Every structure is written in C-alpha cells, then in structure tokens.
C-alpha cells in the first residue's frame, strides 16, 4: 500500500514545509517536510544564504558562524519529501501484520513519520494493533505520543502534538 494523496497532503500540513535548516525543537537539524538532516545527507541540495536575506517562518533557523543558513527551493523540498516518504511506508509494511484501510495506513505513516520507527516498533499501539484489539480501544495508545523534549531534555506534553494526534486519530478511526 502507498500513502494516498489525501494522506500526503495531511502529512505535509501537519509537518509543515520549511525551506531552510532549523532546529525541530528537540535539538535535531531539520529541513523540508520534517526531514532530519543529521540522518540523511542533503548537502547537495543546500545553498547557503545570508540569514537577513531570507523569509523566516515560524521556526528559528540554524545559523552558521558566517551568518548564513542552509536553504532549499520548494521543488527540492518536494523531491526530498518524495524520497523520504517511502522509507516510512516501508516501516508500516514491515511492522503492521493486520490488514489496514487506506485512512488507517495514511495516519500510521503520519504517526511514524513524526515519532520514528524505533518508537513505533516498541509501542503498545503496534503490539495491540497487531493483536487485533478492537480499534476504538487503541486511542490511549495513539494519543500518548503527544510529548516532546523541552530545553532541558525532559519529555513534556506538547500542545501541537496533542492536536496532531487528535486529528490523526479521528481520521484513523472514522476515515476521510
């Protein structure tokens, strides 16, 4: 199965698309649609630009000592995302042993894209899903993934993640 167009649009909307390298809030350098640059070598895409000559969005850029920021174009961002998404689809294909509807698959891809493969692989959500437990009973297992590290490294409830988990869950359980 592949992520549907609806799923792709929801994922891009949830992650946002940022055309410069930034700290994701947990200390990870990120660009494009939530793609970590410490995991994937994306340097071939980067053009360094003066931080004062770019349009900044809602996140703070990672500024180099020469006052420049790694940037990409929107076209490059979509290329990076299209190459990244199949990795996360592969995790769902590998880890989930029960049959899924398209909306369920899409929302699981969104979740794993955000929380990471290892967290998902070791989660009560995956264990209970694969056991065939009634889907409506999985809500607490889904919504527990609403925390992010604060500046001190402590996991704390994050309002944005709480809202994202609620949106994902609604589509997972009710469909589009």
Active site residues: 15, 24
CA distance 108 to 98: 13
Spell 6-21 as b/e; 16+ CB within 10 A means b: ebbebbbebbebbbbb
Task: List C-alpha distances in Å: 69 to 32, 41, 74, 130.
Answer: 14, 16, 16, 43
Cβ pair 30, 23 in contact under 8 A = yes
Residue 140 neighbours by CB under 8 Å, 6+ apart = none
């Amino acid at each position: 199965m592949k992520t549907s167009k609806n799923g792709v649009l929801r994922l891009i909307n949830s992650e946002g698309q940022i055309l410069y390298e930034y700290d994701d809030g947990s200390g990870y350098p990120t660009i494009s649609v939530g793609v970590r640059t410490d995991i994937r070598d994306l340097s071939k895409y980067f053009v360094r630009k003066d931080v004062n000559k770019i349009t900044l969005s809602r996140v703070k850029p990672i500024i180099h000592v020469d006052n420049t920021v790694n940037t990409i174009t929107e076209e490059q961002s979509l290329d990076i995302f299209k190459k990244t998404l199949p990795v996360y689809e592969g995790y769902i294909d590998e880890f989930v042993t029960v049959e899924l509807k398209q909306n369920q698959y899409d929302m699981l891809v969104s979740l794993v894209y955000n929380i990471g493969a290892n967290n998902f692989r070791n989660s009560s959500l995956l264990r209970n899903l694969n056991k065939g437990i009634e889907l409506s009973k999985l809500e607490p297992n889904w919504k527990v993934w609403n925390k992010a590290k604060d500046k001190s490294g402590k996991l704390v409830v994050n309002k944005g993640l709480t809202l994202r988990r609620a949106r994902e869950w609604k589509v997972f359980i009710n469909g589009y």
